[in-house]
C-alpha cells in the first residue's frame, strides 16, 4: 500500500494540494464525502458543486452510486481525492499556538515569582482558577496568604519610580510587571505590587 504523497501548487490561492496515494485513506475520505455531499436534502451542496463546474448529469450519476462503489473509483490507484493545505490557515493556527504558549510561559513566570491571585486574575482573565491551581501545584509554588511584607522606604521609593517610568515605556501590563521584577529580582511580585499600591 503506497503511503507517499505528491504535492502540487493550488491554483486557487495560497496553499498546496497533496495527492492522496494511500488507497485506504482515499476510500475512507470518499465515503465521508459521499455522506456529506450526496445524502438526501443537500440541495445547497448541489448548487455549490454546480458553481465549481460539475454538470447535472455528473451530479446525478455520482449521487446515485452506492458509496462503496464510488469509493473504489475515487480512492483507487487513479484517486481523484486530494488534500488541500491552506497556507493562510496554517499561519493563523501557528499564531494561535504561539499566543497560547506565550500565555502559558507568562503565567508560569508570574506564579513562580509570587504574583497574588488578584494580579493573576487581572493579567490572565481567561484562565480558569482550576488551571491556575493545577499550574501552581505542578510548579510547586503554592499561593501564600496574608499581606506581603513591604520593603524599606528607600527600596519602596525606588520601586515606585521604576514603575512610573515603565508606565511611560511599556503598553503591556504584563511586560511592565515582568520588567519591574527584573529590576528587583530578590522581591516577589506580591511585594512589588504592595510597594506600588502603598504610594
The pLDDT tens digits of the residues spanning 76-121 come to 666 677 777 778 888 899 999 999 999 999 999 999 999 999 999 9
Residues 110 and 187 in one domain: yes
- Please count the structural domains in the chain: 2
Question: Residue 140 has what DSSP assignment?
Answer: T
With a CB cutoff of 8 Å and minimum separation 6, the contacts of 74 are 26, 27, 30, 33, 80, 81
Tell me whether residue 51 is in a domain. Answer: yes
The domain of 126 spans: 90-197
Among residues 32, 50, 80, which one ends one of the domains?
80
Q: Report the candidate in 105, 104, 100, 110 with the shortest Cα–Cα distance to residue 178.
A: 110
The answer to whether position 139 is within a domain reads: yes
pLDDT of residue 76: 60
Q: Are residues 28 and 97 in the same domain?
A: no
**Residues 135, 166 share a domain:** yes
Per the listing, cell 486557487 goes with 12
Look at residue 13 in the predicted model and tell me its pLDDT. 59
164 shares a domain with 133: yes
Winning range, highest mean pLDDT, from 31-40, 44-53, 63-72: 63-72
Domain assignment of residue 85, yes or no: no
Among the candidates 26, 49, 80, a domain finishes at 80
Q: In 3-state terms, what secondary structure has residue 158?
A: helix
Sheet of 15-20, strand order: 5-9, 15-20, 82-86
Among 188, 169, 97, residue whose Cα is nearest residue 196? 188
Q: Is the pTM of this model over 0.75?
A: no
Q: Is the Cβ–Cβ distance between 192 and 159 less than 8 Å?
A: yes
HSE of 50, CA atoms in CB hemisphere, 13 A: 9
How does the average pLDDT of the chain come out, rounded?
83
Last residue of a domain, one of 80, 103, 121: 80
Pairing of strands 15-20, 5-9: antiparallel
179 and 94, same domain (yes or no): yes
Nearest-angstrom CA–CA distance, 8 and 21: 13
98 and 51: one domain?
no
Q: Is 117 exposed, middle or buried (0-12, 13-18, 19+ CB in 10 A)?
A: middle
pLDDT category of residue 3 using cuts at 50, 70 and 90: very low
State whether 166 and 96 are in the same domain.
yes
**Same domain flag for 42 and 74:** yes
Residue 40 has φ and ψ, to the nearest 5°, of -55, 140
Amino acid at each position: 500500500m503506497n503511503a507517499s504523497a505528491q504535492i502540487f501548487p493550488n491554483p486557487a490561492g495560497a496553499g498546496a494540494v497533496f495527492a492522496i496515494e494511500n488507497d485506504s485513506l482515499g476510500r475512507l475520505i470518499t465515503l465521508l464525502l459521499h455522506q456529506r455531499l450526496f445524502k438526501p436534502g443537500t440541495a445547497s451542496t448541489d448548487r455549490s458543486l454546480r458553481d465549481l463546474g460539475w454538470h447535472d448529469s455528473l451530479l446525478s450519476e455520482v449521487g446515485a452510486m452506492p458509496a462503496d462503489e464510488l469509493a473504489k473509483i475515487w480512492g483507487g490507484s487513479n484517486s481523484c481525492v486530494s488534500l488541500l493545505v491552506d497556507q493562510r490557515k496554517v499561519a493563523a493556527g501557528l499564531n494561535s499556538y504561539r499566543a497560547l504558549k506565550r500565555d502559558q510561559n507568562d503565567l508560569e513566570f508570574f506564579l513562580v515569582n509570587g504574583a497574588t491571585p488578584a494580579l493573576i486574575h487581572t493579567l490572565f482573565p481567561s484562565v480558569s482558577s482550576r488551571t491556575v491551581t493545577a499550574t501552581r501545584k505542578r510548579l510547586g509554588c503554592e499561593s501564600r496568604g496574608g499581606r506581603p511584607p513591604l520593603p524599606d522606604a528607600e527600596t519602596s521609593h525606588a520601586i515606585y519610580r521604576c514603575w512610573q517610568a515603565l508606565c511611560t515605556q511599556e503598553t503591556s501590563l504584563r511586560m511592565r510587571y515582568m520588567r519591574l521584577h527584573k529590576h528587583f529580582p530578590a522581591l516577589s511580585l506580591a511585594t512589588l505590587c504592595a510597594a506600588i499600591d502603598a504610594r
